[in-house]
A and B are shown apart, each in its own frame.
Chain A
Amino acid sequence: MKKFVFALVAMMLAAAVWAEGDQIRSFELLSRTQAEDPTEFQAAQLVAQEWRKLGLDVEHKAIPWEQLAQVVWFDRDPPDWDMTMWRMVGRPERSDPDELIYNLFHSSTADAGYNFIAYSNPEYDAVVEAQRVETDPDARQALIIQAQEILDRDQPNAFLVHPQQAYAYRSDIWDPATVVEQSGIGIKNFWTFVDAAPLTDQRDMILNSGVVVQAINPLYISGATDSWITELIWDRLLRISPEGLAEPWAAESYNWVDDTTIDVTLRSGMTWHDGEPVTVEDVVFSFQAPQGDESPMYKPFVSGIADIAALDENTVRFTLSQPSAAFLTATLAKINLVPLHIWGPILDDLSTKDENAESYQEEIPIGSGPFKYVNWLRSQEVVLEANTEHFSAPEIDRWILRIIPNAEASLGMLRSGELNFLSGYLGDPQVLVQTSEGQPIDVVASTEVGFRYVAFNHRAAPFDDPAFRRALSLALNRNFFVQAAYKGFAVPSNSPVSTALGFWTAPGITDLETGIELAKGILAEAGYTLDGRGRLHYPDGVTEQHGN
């Protein structure tokens, strides 16, 4: 008996010595908590289950968003995570692929910016830099597609899906013909809020959000919900149209003088909500204000402007430091027009203090947009009313945003009519559809500009190996995830450019062949081996890097 035990121990020791490389360590797959995002939580559970089939020890660990952000985003020196569920949300400005395709993967943003996974590929850097200054759309399209093909080869992340965000509204209250679907964004957008026509005496649009409103401030990019409000109170020179293009709004027109010079003509007869006229001085001020240090979040969006000056009473000239393909979308359609007579004195006062404009809250916010501020009851609601003087005056009387922290309550309110536009729904879309059957409720699901994915930390083995990442990514059957975790409300993804952005999508990029056996094959080919207990080991010569 003793002999047998001895032999067994010897065998195990020998196996350890003879193995090609170290056994791959155990991984924690991070995600938000179930309460914060049930779908992501479920996707994580399924991902972990699939990867275990490859001989990896993967444990799913859900932690609150703020802690997750600390571990994954802020602590980069050194980062202490292996893989995490992550998301990029859709926003009108992201209708231009530059923000995601450049910032997420360019090596320059690895230390502090968007490239938190530390993906680094000089070939890729060159391509995305080139598209940035390429003003010819077709040439730029070729570059964007080339970038996506590099990402497909390198698999820096396992892109999972582009979700189809479901929104719903009472079709007995809002004329369905006037509810606008913005590509990549869905029906909850600026155009719907301005255009929606009431069918009955109920002229208040009552919407919901699960997140509290942090601030109502034109010089501060705060929570996602806050931006719905700032978009309505403050005008911008251009707006992203329902088709995803930057089009004149407060500007009557614009004219490229050359590659780096653009003249913008301001619409005449506009007024601020306090009755003062909107002037070119206000416009110049609005773009100069973020250039200082009082509005750090908007600063990156005006950094490409070398000079800005009023040519006459209606025209402003922007001079850029270099050609920029995304200038219309990322700057002219992004910066809020703010009144000089209000913010001028405030900024002067703030320049002597520690605080900046982001912490300043106007008692009654004043913009020139299609809606005026009425009331804000903290953690309950924000009320805006139609600005009937506006050049594009809304059809509705009031726009009321209710803060409803859970999906269950918001659904109940939609049924009872306490809400008539479901604008923030994180629950199961199938439940929403079932609930709406036989009721005057229209559910509209649109493919998002954003995407959901599993991010790998490239700073340590085995995630620095493209073959390893590719194997993990291809182990995941995207269609299964679409059905199981997203209940059919998503489309498969293999790129940061959503299929919703038709023009920029690389054809066939999502036609991924997936499967556990395929993934095992890739691993074997790259030299990874399984030991007698079915655990995966590194290829010969690769060792686990300890003590990061």
Chain B
Amino acid sequence: MATPNTSLRTARPSRWRLFVRSLAGTGALLLRDPYALFGTVVYALFVLIALFAEQLAPFDPLEILFTPEGNLAADLRPSREHPLGTTSLARDVYSQLLYGTRSALLVGVTAAFCVVAIGTVVGLVAGYFGGLVDTVLMRLADIAFGIPFLPFVIVLAAFLEPSVWNVVLAMALILWRDTGRVIRSQVLTVRERSYVEAARVTGSSTPRIIFLHIAPNILPLSFLYGSIAVGWAILTEASISFLGFGDSNVISWGYMLQDAFVSQALSRGSYYWFVPPGIAIVLVVTAGFFISRGYEELLFPRLREED
């Protein structure tokens, strides 16, 4: 009994060192790949804006503004005071754009985390245990694959109180399927590797094997799916808001686009109102793709896209 323990003690740090090194390698790679670098810079910028939105925004994004003469400050064209003009409800577009960063990142990151966390655990458990557990989990994944995603989010968002978290919930309920399947097949190959075999033979507990020996090998793959899921979540939130199932008391880019569309920004020619939120979405989602591309180079040197 004593021998396995010592062997594990020596194995454990080396596993983690490997993982840490791979993370550092990831960082280095992200910086080397110009696209990934671009993605990282965009993310960093948006995080900064989200953190300091209150300081950066000239107005409260939901405040109804008035002109000095006491009239409603609605539909103003861009000016020094309102760099992107005001909405038909007399709110400052520029401030809304800055605040929108918050809900975008909040929704994006939380949803991505949920999706990846559930998917990874399901993939690990199904792949490692096989048998009945595997069958049940994979049939659940089949069912999840049989549910059209956007319609499902629409139904959920309509049935629950309007909130940005509906998107997170829907993604957690459905989109774990992709990550789960991929992680599972990755686990199937990893678990046959000699060091995992060794750990099993020497009697390491199952959770130990899963989380200490197998998980570090598949985490980069999880990150890859995570960085794509961030974009998915932001796009989905935008679509749901656009269809009118969003929360009108929380400013998001999707809400801004919906507001612009129903307030007839197209007919007014208010490009300064409906173009910027779209560009912001494109930027942050593309940034996620670029970072994931960096990961891809790391994981699959012969770039192979799986859908």
B5 located at the interface, meaning its Cβ lies under 8 Å from any Cβ of chain A in the complex: no
Please state if A428 and B244 are interface contacts (CB–CB under 8 Å). Answer: no
Q: Mark A377-388, 1 if CB is under 8 A from B, else 0.
A: 000000000000
Please state if B244 and A35 are interface contacts (CB–CB under 8 Å). Answer: yes
Q: How far is the CA of A41 from the CA of B91 in the complex (A)?
A: 14
Please state if A35 and B258 are interface contacts (CB–CB under 8 Å). Answer: yes
Contact of B263 among A38, A46, A484 (CB under 8 A): A38
Please state if B88 and A412 are interface contacts (CB–CB under 8 Å). Answer: no
User: Which chain B residues border A62 with CB–CB below 8 Å?
Assistant: 162, 248
Please state if B64 and A431 are interface contacts (CB–CB under 8 Å). Answer: no
A527 located at the interface, meaning its Cβ lies under 8 Å from any Cβ of chain B in the complex: no
Q: How far is the CA of A406 from the CA of B244 in the complex (A)?
A: 12
Contact of A428 among B64, B88, B158, B259 (CB under 8 A): B88
Contact of A406 among B74, B88, B262 (CB under 8 A): B262
Chain A interface: which of B12-20, B210-218, B264-272? B264-272
Chain B interface, DSSP helix/strand/loop, else mixed? loop
Please state if A431 and B268 are interface contacts (CB–CB under 8 Å). Answer: yes
A64 located at the interface, meaning its Cβ lies under 8 Å from any Cβ of chain B in the complex: yes
Q: How far is the CB of A346 from chain B (nearest CB, A)?
A: 36
Please state if B263 and A428 are interface contacts (CB–CB under 8 Å). Answer: yes
Q: Mark A7-43, 1 if CB is under 8 A from B, else 0.
A: 0000000000000000000000000011110100110
Q: How far is the CB of A60 from chain B (nearest CB, A)?
A: 8
Q: How far is the CB of B260 from chain A (nearest CB, A)?
A: 10
Q: How far is the CB of B170 from chain A (nearest CB, A)?
A: 18
Please state if B72 and A484 are interface contacts (CB–CB under 8 Å). Answer: yes
Please state if B89 and A35 are interface contacts (CB–CB under 8 Å). Answer: no
**Size class of B's contact patch?**
20 to 34
Q: How far is the CB of B92 from chain A (nearest CB, A)?
A: 15
Known pairs A42-B88, A63-B162, A484-B72; A34 contacts B262 (CB<8 A): yes
B52 located at the interface, meaning its Cβ lies under 8 Å from any Cβ of chain A in the complex: no
Please state if B267 and A408 are interface contacts (CB–CB under 8 Å). Answer: yes
Q: How far is the CA of A45 from the CA of B71 in the complex (A)?
A: 15
Q: How far is the CB of A331 from chain B (nearest CB, A)?
A: 39
**Size class of A's contact patch?**
20 to 34
Q: Mark A463-502, 1 if CB is under 8 A from B, else 0.
A: 0000000000000000000011000000000000000000
Please state if A34 and B64 are interface contacts (CB–CB under 8 Å). Answer: no
B261 located at the interface, meaning its Cβ lies under 8 Å from any Cβ of chain A in the complex: yes
Q: How far is the CB of B89 from chain A (nearest CB, A)?
A: 5
Please state if A408 and B248 are interface contacts (CB–CB under 8 Å). Answer: no
Known pairs A36-B244, A64-B158, A484-B72; A431 contacts B267 (CB<8 A): yes
Please state if A427 and B264 are interface contacts (CB–CB under 8 Å). Answer: yes
User: Which chain A residues border B263 with CB–CB below 8 Å?
Assistant: 38, 428
Q: How far is the CA of A505 from the CA of B116 in the complex (A)?
A: 65
Q: How far is the CA of A64 from the CA of B88 in the complex (A)?
A: 21
A268 located at the interface, meaning its Cβ lies under 8 Å from any Cβ of chain B in the complex: no
A49 located at the interface, meaning its Cβ lies under 8 Å from any Cβ of chain B in the complex: yes
Please state if A33 and B88 are interface contacts (CB–CB under 8 Å). Answer: no
Q: Within B208-245, which residues are at the interface with A (CB < 8 Å)?
A: 243-244
Q: How far is the CB of B263 from chain A (nearest CB, A)?
A: 6
Q: Specify the chain A residue showing the minimal Cβ separation from B247.
A: A62
Please state if B262 and A407 are interface contacts (CB–CB under 8 Å). Answer: yes
User: Which chain B residues border A41 with CB–CB below 8 Å?
Assistant: 89, 248
- Residue from A36, A49, A407, A408 whose CB has the most chain B CB atoms within 10 Å: A408
Q: Specify the chain B residue showing the minimal Cβ separation from A411.
A: B267
User: Which chain B residues border A407 with CB–CB below 8 Å?
Assistant: 262, 264
Known pairs A64-B158, A408-B261, A484-B72; A38 contacts B88 (CB<8 A): yes
Contact of B262 among A35, A411, A412, A483 (CB under 8 A): A35
Please state if B72 and A33 are interface contacts (CB–CB under 8 Å). Answer: no
Q: Specify the chain B residue showing the minimal Cβ separation from A485.
A: B72
- Residue from B88, B259, B262 whose CB has the most chain A CB atoms within 10 Å: B262
Q: Specify the chain A residue showing the minimal Cβ separation from B63.
A: A49
User: Which chain A residues border B264 with CB–CB below 8 Å?
Assistant: 407-408, 411, 427-428, 431
Q: How far is the CA of A45 from the CA of B262 in the complex (A)?
A: 16
- Residue from B74, B243, B261, B264 whose CB has the most chain A CB atoms within 10 Å: B264
Please state if B89 and A412 are interface contacts (CB–CB under 8 Å). Answer: no
Q: How far is the CA of A443 from the CA of B64 in the complex (A)?
A: 29
Please state if B266 and A408 are interface contacts (CB–CB under 8 Å). Answer: yes
Known pairs A46-B64, A406-B262; A34 contacts B244 (CB<8 A): yes
Q: How far is the CA of A408 from the CA of B264 in the complex (A)?
A: 6
Q: Mark B99-123, 1 if CB is under 8 A from A, else 0.
A: 0000000000000000000000000
A322 located at the interface, meaning its Cβ lies under 8 Å from any Cβ of chain B in the complex: no
Q: Within A153-171, which residues are at the interface with B (CB < 8 Å)?
A: none
Please state if A34 and B267 are interface contacts (CB–CB under 8 Å). Answer: no
Q: Specify the chain A residue showing the minimal Cβ separation from B260.
A: A408
Known pairs A34-B244, A431-B268; A49 contacts B262 (CB<8 A): no
User: Which chain A residues border B158 with CB–CB below 8 Å?
Assistant: 64
User: Which chain B residues border A36 with CB–CB below 8 Å?
Assistant: 244
User: Which chain A residues border B72 with CB–CB below 8 Å?
Assistant: 483-484
User: Which chain B residues border A439 with CB–CB below 8 Å?
Assistant: none
Contact of A33 among B64, B248, B266, B267 (CB under 8 A): B248
User: Which chain A residues border B267 with CB–CB below 8 Å?
Assistant: 408, 411-412, 427, 431, 435
Known pairs A64-B158, A407-B264, A484-B72; A33 contacts B89 (CB<8 A): no
User: Which chain A residues border B64 with CB–CB below 8 Å?
Assistant: 45-46, 49
Q: Specify the chain A residue showing the minimal Cβ separation from B74.
A: A484
User: Which chain A residues border B261 with CB–CB below 8 Å?
Assistant: 406, 408
User: Which chain B residues border A63 with CB–CB below 8 Å?
Assistant: 162
User: Which chain A residues border B268 with CB–CB below 8 Å?
Assistant: 431
Q: How far is the CA of A45 from the CA of B88 in the complex (A)?
A: 12
Q: How far is the CB of B87 from chain A (nearest CB, A)?
A: 10
Q: Specify the chain A residue showing the minimal Cβ separation from B66.
A: A484
Q: How far is the CA of A61 from the CA of B262 in the complex (A)?
A: 18
Q: How far is the CB of A422 from chain B (nearest CB, A)?
A: 13
Known pairs A34-B259, A62-B248, A406-B262; A45 contacts B162 (CB<8 A): no
User: Which chain A residues border B244 with CB–CB below 8 Å?
Assistant: 33-36, 64
User: Which chain A residues border B266 with CB–CB below 8 Å?
Assistant: 408
Q: How far is the CA of A49 from the CA of B63 in the complex (A)?
A: 10
User: Which chain B residues border A435 with CB–CB below 8 Å?
Assistant: 267
Q: How far is the CB of B32 from chain A (nearest CB, A)?
A: 46
Q: How far is the CA of A38 from the CA of B258 in the complex (A)?
A: 11
Q: Within A362-420, which residues are at the interface with B (CB < 8 Å)?
A: 406-408, 411-412
Q: A41-B89, A60-B249, A427-B267 are in contact. List 18 more A-B contacts (CB 8 A).
A: A34-B248, A34-B259, A35-B243, A35-B258, A36-B244, A41-B248, A45-B64, A61-B249, A62-B162, A62-B248, A406-B261, A406-B262, A408-B261, A431-B264, A435-B267, A483-B72, A484-B71, A484-B72
Residue pairs across A and B with Cβ atoms less than 8 A apart, 22 shown, are A34-B258, A34-B259, A35-B244, A41-B89, A41-B248, A49-B64, A61-B249, A64-B158, A406-B261, A407-B262, A407-B264, A408-B261, A408-B264, A408-B266, A408-B267, A411-B264, A411-B267, A428-B88, A431-B268, A483-B72, A484-B72, A484-B74
Considering the complex of A and B, which 9 residue pairs feature the smallest CB-CB distances, nearest first?
A35-B244, A484-B72, A431-B264, A35-B262, A62-B248, A431-B267, A427-B264, A408-B266, A38-B262
